[in-house]
Amino acid sequence: MRSKLILAGLIVLAASLAACAGKTSPKFDILITGGTVIDGTGAPRRQVDVGIIADTIAAVGDLAGAWSGRLINASGRIVAPGVIDIHGHSDYSILVDGTAQSKIRQGVTTEIIGEALSAGPISRAGQNFKRVEAPLWDADIEWSTLGEYFQVLERRGSSINIGSFVGTMSVRRYVIGDTNRNPSDVELDSMCVLVDAAMRQGALGVSSALLGSPLTTAELIAMARVASRHGGIYSTHVRDEGSLIFSSLDEAFRIGREADLPVDVIHLKVAERDLWGRMDSVLARFEQAREEGLDVTANMYPYIAGQNNLSALIPPEGQDGGRDKMLERLHDPGWRRQFKETLYAGGRPDWYNHYTSSAGWESMLVVSTKAEKNQDLIGRRMSEVIEMRGGEPTDVLFDLLLEEGGSVPTVYFLMSEEDVRTAMVHPLVSFCSDGVAVRPEGPLGKGKPHPRWYGSFPRILGRYARDQKVLSLESAVHKMTWQNAEKLGITGRGLIKVGMAADLMLFDPESVLDRATFSDPHHYPEGIEYVLVNGTVVIDKGEHTGALPGRIIYGPGRE
């Protein structure tokens, strides 16, 4: 407590001295001079200096004459708050490599994880994730609760700050396993107890991913009510982003209304070719809900393709009981016949059909395989794979899933550029990456992941703000910093302001740009020259220092 009071006194003193130019030269640990500050509020840029003491912004203004332990000349550069990636998937990769290379090099200083299948609660066997993600990177499960996961992460260290939702599907699986049946009243009560525990351990809210999910609206309302009592939010990948997007949004808004908590829709999109050009109508639903008093927002990434799995082409009845049961059914000619008919028939209220919502097999890009014999399929469209193998397309699909143990990560080209741009400029929509912290080398460099893992935020700053002028640079920065902080209730980050955490990025506005592509994704962006996390320089002149100053971002209910 005494050290905190001393630090606070130093910050006040530094700010006071900065206001009294010429009287005394204050000392900072780091002084950033000559740059153009975009502070995260959306206000016009301005020429000011930034002084940092320890982990905190201590002064913003004309700091000529001040001295410091480290001087960073930001002439010709933009000084902005570090990116708060409100929707990421580095739950496991951050434990494999805490340097978070593909995130920190985009300017990301905070990532929010835990969509649907959060790192806790899970059994000691790790049934929620271990068979799906951990084998890719040989990660071990050393925890059961979300709080224990946070402890493991703190011990191992991270270059970026991490916060997490509690995943509704993690909770469901912990209680009733991989089954599509509804929980009993007693089981639902147990699920709510787990949510309550996770919120007390520091979760920011509850999160769901409802595409093909057995979770009912009633279950979600019950769990969201628990999160609401702790000041959390509801973050959701809605049930259908295609032909049923409007009813899916209605469900999300109902959950927010009945549980009395804010709703943030994950990676907003119109993923149905027949509905392209309807993003205005989608956004109008948000505006209407807000007029009715509901706090609803959305986030998005700047690409026309999403990523899922080839297994998403199997309807819910085929996945009931988990992956092993699905694989058993794929061996059965009767089930294969049924799956084929269902796939070609189109979407259903309980299932978003990736095949009929897109341009078919040509819209699917294989990004990763495990079997040695299938390595040559990486980076190919499914239409190519089908042509290479011959035979009926669904048989090729089913056989490939069997060969790969039921999982083939796949990029689906589903959206239109017009809709992406329309969403991008709307005031209720912020930015995310929906990506994983990886690096080109080693186990995290396998396959050809979605380029958003490496390029989302520089792509917005360079292509959409600077080159195409879809939105201003000030608006772009706001939508990836303070706007996300406000949604999450994070009050101490996301702005360049005295007293805020010293999470900063410095970039060249003329050169900042993404370099990752769908065919060649493992490339870091250009133009991000410095990144500071909690006052520590992590990216220094474009190079990673190896520093691990990241912290856990806890939710308001933490005890």
Question: What does the alpha-carbon distance between residue 419 and residue 271 come to, in Å, rounded to a whole number?
Answer: 10
Same domain, 184 and 112: yes
What's the alpha-carbon Rg for the chain, to the nearest Å? 24
Instruction: Output the pLDDT for position 123.
Output: 75
Spell out the residues 6+ positions from residue 328 whose beta carbon is closer than 8 angstroms to its own. none
Q: Tell me if 358 is assigned to some domain.
A: yes
Residue that terminates a domain, selected from 490, 517, 533: 490
Largest CA distance in the chain: 85
Q: 293: which DSSP letter?
A: T
- On whether both 253 and 362 belong to a single domain, the answer is no
Q: Are 112 and 494 in contact (CB under 8 A)?
A: no
Distance CA 415, CA 357 (A): 10
Residue 537 lies in a domain: no
Model pTM?
0.93
Residues 298 and 386 in one domain: no
pLDDT of residue 138: 59
* Separation CA 501–CA 483 (nearest Å): 16
Based on the domain organization, do 321 and 290 belong to the same domain? no
DSSP reduced 3-state for 273:
helix
pLDDT at 258 over 80: yes
How many helices (H) and strands (E) in the chain?
Answer: 20, 23
257, 361: one domain: no
Specify whether 254 is located in the same domain as 387.
no
Task: Tell me, yes or no, whether 137 and 155 share the same domain.
Answer: yes
For the stretch 509-531, pLDDT in tens is 999 999 999 999 999 999 999 99
- Tell me the torsion sign for CA atoms 265, 89, 79, 159: positive
CA dist 456 and 435 (Å) reads 9
pLDDT, mean of residues 372-394: 97
Task: Please indicate, yes or no, whether residues 361 and 482 belong to a single structural domain of this protein.
Answer: no
Instruction: Please name every residue paired with 85 in a beta bridge, in sequence order, or none if there are none.
Output: 111
The reply to whether 540 falls in a domain is no
Residue with the larger pLDDT of the pair 74 and 140: 74
- Asked if residue 52 belongs to a domain, the reply is no
**Statement: residue 21 has pLDDT above 50:** no
- Does residue 559 form part of some domain? no
Mean pLDDT of 56-72: 97
Q: How far apart are CA 428 and CA 230, in angstroms?
A: 24
Q: Are 335 and 435 part of one and the same domain?
A: no
CATH of the domain at 477: 3.20.20.140
Res. 299: pLDDT tops 80: yes
The total number of structural domains in the chain stands at 2
Conformation bin of residue 30: beta by default, left when phi > 0, alpha when psi is -120 to 50? beta
**Rounded distance between C-alpha atoms, residue 532 and residue 538, angstroms:** 6
How does strand 205-209 pair with strand 166-167?
parallel
Comparing CA positions, the residue from 69, 62, 58, 113 lying closest to residue 91 is: 113
Closest CA to 366 of 290, 449, 292: 449
Residue 82 has pLDDT above 90, yes or no: yes
- Position 275, amino acid: L
pLDDT of residue 113: 99
Task: At 219, list the tokens.
Answer: 């279950």
Cis peptide bond upstream of 121, omega within 30: yes
Helix (H, G, I), strand (E, B) or coil at 275: helix
Beginning with the edge strand found earlier in the chain, give each strand of the sheet holding 56-61 in spatial order. Answer: 56-61, 49-53, 27-33, 67-73
**Does residue 266 form part of some domain?**
yes
At 446 the three-state DSSP class reads coil
Is there a domain that residue 394 lies in?
A: yes
Residues 93 and 109 both lie in one domain: yes
Beta-bridged to residue 234, according to DSSP, are 206, 263
Q: Taking 80 as the threshold, does the pLDDT of residue 372 lie above it?
A: yes
Tell me: pLDDT of 466 over 60. yes
CA distance 291 to 356: 34
Residue 550 or 130, more confident? 550
Which pLDDT band holds residue 135 (cuts at 50, 70, 90)? very low
Mean pLDDT of the chain: 94
Could you say which of 391, 412, 433 is where a domain stops? 412
pLDDT, one tens digit per residue, over 303-359 is 999 999 999 999 999 999 999 999 999 999 999 999 999 999 987 888 999 999 988
Domain housing 211: 83-304+415-490
Q: In what order do the strands lie in the sheet with 296-300?
A: 166-167, 205-209, 233-237, 263-265, 296-300, 429-431
Beta-carbon contacts of 382 under 8 Å, excluding residues fewer than 6 positions away, are 310, 361, 362, 364, 365, 366, 393, 396, 397, 410
pLDDT band of residue 6 (cuts 50, 70, 90) is: very low
User: Tokens 């506005």, residue?
Assistant: 509
136 with 211, same domain?
yes
Q: What would the pLDDT profile of 385-415 be if each residue is shown by its tens digit?
A: 999 999 999 999 999 999 999 999 999 999 9
What are 177-222's pLDDT values in tens digits?
A: 989 999 999 999 999 999 999 999 999 999 999 998 999 999 999 9
Q: Which of 466, 490, 514 is the last residue of a domain?
A: 490
The strand pairing partners of 501, in sequence order, are: 56
pLDDT digits (tens, 9 = 90+) for 103-122: 999 999 999 999 999 999 99
Does 32 map to a domain?
Answer: no
Q: What is the bridge-based pairing of β-strands 504-507 and 78-81?
A: antiparallel
**Residues 338 and 221 grouped into a single domain:** no
pLDDT of residue 131: 44
